[in-house]
């Protein structure tokens, strides 16, 4: 009976971890769209060469983005070219993309959240996808408005994109995180997770799993949330990590 109770508790905690990771980007939009009007909605898609873009940007080149049609080309498929990027590389691409797309500097914008993802089989490479969002409070028609800017960086598809929206009125209060104070980066959070249960969890699944790393100040836990997600609710490992101190709390470990 005790064993059955333990399995049930693990399953429940697993559901909470995965749901939190997967929906942390969705819930704010649901709340916003329920009470606001969208006065701006602009998306720009580009293709990149993941194998050369970091070196090109380091040399001061910015002609590394090829503008695509309003929607991503249907022919875009997984290229399978893994990258060895760190968090700073994703942000370097983000900054260059923002400038190349003709937008104002993000210096006056606030960080809202970021999500990194990789297949467990790619653990030696690191994150292979990033979704990063900024926001800015402005005014529109005499009312407070909120500008949002979403960046998607997807090297496996040779693709990046930026999506800008403006919602009126601004009905939500968003927390932010001062990125210059960040001491634990995505690759550090992944290493901490690996050393404290993640390695055993993914090996027990023979690397048939996905790892999500999210940092969302407005979430229940404002630090890094790392989740190893498999096909079964019991095949999950989750851990919270303080983004400054590196202290952590294991949420679930089904193995």
- Low-confidence residues of the chain: pLDDT under 70: 1-35, 70-80, 170, 172, 232-235, 254-255
With H, G, I as helix, E, B as strand and everything else as coil, classify residue 145: strand
Residues, the chain = 255
Report the chain's mean pLDDT, rounded to a whole number.
83
pLDDT at 31: 44
pLDDT at 51: 94
Lookup: tokens for 24: 């942390």
pLDDT at 77: 47
- Whole-number Cα distances in Å, 79 to 68, 93, 161, 207: 17, 19, 17, 20
pLDDT at 236: 80
H-state helical runs in 112-163: none
H-state helical runs in 36-176: 53-58, 87-100
Quote the CA–CA distance of 178 and 14 in Å, as a whole number. 30
pLDDT at 73: 54
Quote the CA–CA distance of 39 and 32 in Å, as a whole number. 13
Tens of pLDDT, residue by residue over 54-96, are 999 999 998 999 998 766 554 444 556 899 999 999 999 999 9
pLDDT at 70: 62
| Neighbouring residues of 187: CB distance < 8 A, sequence distance ≥ 6 | 86, 87, 126, 127
With H, G, I as helix, E, B as strand and everything else as coil, classify residue 133: strand
With H, G, I as helix, E, B as strand and everything else as coil, classify residue 35: helix
DSSP class per residue in 223-242: SEEEEEE-SSTTSEEEEEE-
| Neighbouring residues of 25: CB distance < 8 A, sequence distance ≥ 6 | 113, 115, 131, 133
For residue 51, give the nearest of 83, 17, 19 by alpha carbon. 83
pLDDT at 78: 53
Any idea where the domains of the chain sit in the sequence? 2-253
Rounded (10°) CA dihedral 50, 202, 213, 98 = 10
For residue 228, give the nearest of 21, 47, 52 by alpha carbon. 21
């Amino acid at each position: 009976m005790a064993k059955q109770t333990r399995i049930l508790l693990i399953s429940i905690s697993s559901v909470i971890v995965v749901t939190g990771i997967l929906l942390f980007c969705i819930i704010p939009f649901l709340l916003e769209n329920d009470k606001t009007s969208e006065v701006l909605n602009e998306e720009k898609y580009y293709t990149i060469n993941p194998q050369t873009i970091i070196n090109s940007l380091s040399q001061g080149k910015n002609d590394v983005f090829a503008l695509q049609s309003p929607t991503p080309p249907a022919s875009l498929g997984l290229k399978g070219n893994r990258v060895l990027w760190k968090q700073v590389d994703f942000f370097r691409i983000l900054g260059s993309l923002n400038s190349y797309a003709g937008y104002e500097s993000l210096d006056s914008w606030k960080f809202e959240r970021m999500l990194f993802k990789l297949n467990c089989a790619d653990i030696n490479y690191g994150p292979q996808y990033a979704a990063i969002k900024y926001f800015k409070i402005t005014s529109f028609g005499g009312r407070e408005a909120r500008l949002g800017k979403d960046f998607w960086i997807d090297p496996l598809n040779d693709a990046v994109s930026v999506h800008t929206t403006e919602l009126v009125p601004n009905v939500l209060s968003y927390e932010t995180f001062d990125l210059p104070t960040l001491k634990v980066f995505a690759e550090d959070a992944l290493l901490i997770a690996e050393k404290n249960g993640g390695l055993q969890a993914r090996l027990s699944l023979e690397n048939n799993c996905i790892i999500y790393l999210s940092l969302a100040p407005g979430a229940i836990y404002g630090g890094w949330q790392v989740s190893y997600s498999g096909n079964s609710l019991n095949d999950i490992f989750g851990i919270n990590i303080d983004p400054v101190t590196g202290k952590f709390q294991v949420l679930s470990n089904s193995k």
